[in-house]
Amino acid sequence: MVYVDPPAWPARGRLWSHLVSDVSYDELHVFAEMVGAPRRAFDRDHYDLPDNRFAMAVWLGARVVPGREIARLLRAANLRRPKHLSTPR
């Protein structure tokens, strides 16, 4: 399953969401491509998704969860990557 939190994180003049999978990075990359998120938006274990792509992610089936759930979901799926580890791409 793919999850997204509501756009609430300000950066570069807009609000951002986090897009994650509790299945695999492969599932996440495929979903992100369908939403139109470039691979450079992948940050260790999630995609940073701009507010203008949020509705498309939900329409494609991402489940909306509160921001505090994102890290919990990643840890539960053993997909959380701390900042000190390299990013799988």
Task: Assess contact for 35 and 56: CB atoms under 8 A.
Answer: yes
**pTM, whole model, 2 decimals?**
0.88
pLDDT tens over the chain, length 89 residues:
999 999 998 999 999 999 999 999 999 999 999 999 999 999 999 999 999 999 999 999 999 999 999 999 999 998 888 776 555 55
d(CA 20, CA 5): 9
Cα separation, 51 vs 6, in Å, equals: 8
Q: Round to whole Å and give the CA distance between 10 and 16.
A: 6
The full DSSP string for 5-51 is: --S-EEETTEEEEEEEESS-HHHHHHHHHHHT--GGGEETTEEEEEG
